Chains A and B, each alone.
Chain A
Amino acid sequence: AQTVTQSQPEMSVQEAETVTLSCTYDTSENNYYLFWYKQPPSRQMILVIRQEAYKQQNATENRFSVNFQKAAKSFSLKISDSQLGDTAMYFCAFMPFNTGTASKLTFGTGTRLQVTL
């Protein structure tokens, strides 16, 4: 069974600054996917960024980037130029490879990020 650990229950960052959210996972699988989801107070789960384990290049999506260290089983999220709208709960998630289609997501416990003025 896979486990996902987010060791930072809460974090705070000032607007325009950079913040990094940590995530580690445990799996015996060699091929899998990793995700960061954002859940603002509206409770809508929003996909922020995804990473395929077979790709060495770190994924980036505008202000969001990841540092994927497969050997260390680490998958951190960096948010650059933080904005007030980034205030949300952030969940790291793991999904085993399943012929390239969607399958079960295992979530971490989440990190609550507060962006301040």
Chain B
Amino acid sequence: SAVISQKPSRDICQRGTSLTIQCQVDSQVTMMFWYRQQPGQSLTLIATANQGSEATYESGFVIDKFPISRPNLTFSTLTVSNMSPEDSSIYLCSTGGRAGGYEQFFGPGTRLTVL
């Protein structure tokens, strides 16, 4: 399985500010995914990030609110822009395995609290 790290692990932010979350993988992967897990809820896919192309967003998520970068095959960032308390969630990135298999492995998540 891929080893995935995320920074920061948690943060407390003020309303109206932005936070960029980093996701680093220990091997080159084609697909990276960003999920949101609201308090006590399940995971919902925000977007899929392929290296060298624009991210593909799911219904209900827009690039202006959640801009994503994918500068190379081991790294991606998700920015949560103009935050409100409703953005308080755990944000997780995931990737396929080293061999490009179908399984997805997750980073440890970033717990975001917006005041």
- A interface list, Cβ under 8 A from B: 33, 35, 37, 42-47, 50, 91, 95, 97-98, 100-110
Question: Which residues of chain B (76-95) have a CB below 8 Å from chain A?
Answer: 90, 92, 94-95
Can you report 17 residue pairs joining A to B where beta carbons are below 8 Å apart? Answer: A35-B103, A43-B111, A45-B43, A45-B109, A47-B1, A95-B104, A101-B31, A101-B101, A102-B94, A102-B97, A102-B101, A102-B102, A102-B103, A102-B104, A104-B48, A104-B58, A109-B41
Question: Are B111's CB and A95's CB within 8 A?
Answer: no
Q: In the assembled complex, how far is the CB of residue A33 from the closest CB belonging to chain B, in whole angstroms? A: 6
Question: Are B42's CB and A110's CB within 8 A?
Answer: yes
Q: Is B63 an interface residue (CB 8 A)?
A: no
Question: Are B33's CB and A45's CB within 8 A?
Answer: no
Question: Are B33's CB and A104's CB within 8 A?
Answer: yes
Q: In the assembled complex, how far is the CB of residue B40 from the closest CB belonging to chain A, in whole angstroms? A: 9
Q: Which of B42, B43, B95, B104 contacts A47 (CB 8 A)?
A: B104
Q: Which of B1, B42, B108 contacts A44 (CB 8 A)?
A: B108
Question: Are B103's CB and A47's CB within 8 A?
Answer: yes
Closest 9 CB pairs of A and B: A102-B96, A45-B106, A107-B42, A107-B43, A43-B109, A102-B104, A102-B31, A109-B42, A44-B108
Q: Is B30 an interface residue (CB 8 A)?
A: yes
Q: Is B16 an interface residue (CB 8 A)?
A: no
Question: Are A91's CB and B100's CB within 8 A?
Answer: no
Chain A neighbourhood of B111, CB < 8 A: 43
Question: Which residues of chain B (2-33) have a CB below 8 Å from chain A?
Answer: 30-31, 33
Question: Which residues of chain B (41-87) have a CB below 8 Å from chain A?
Answer: 41-45, 48, 58
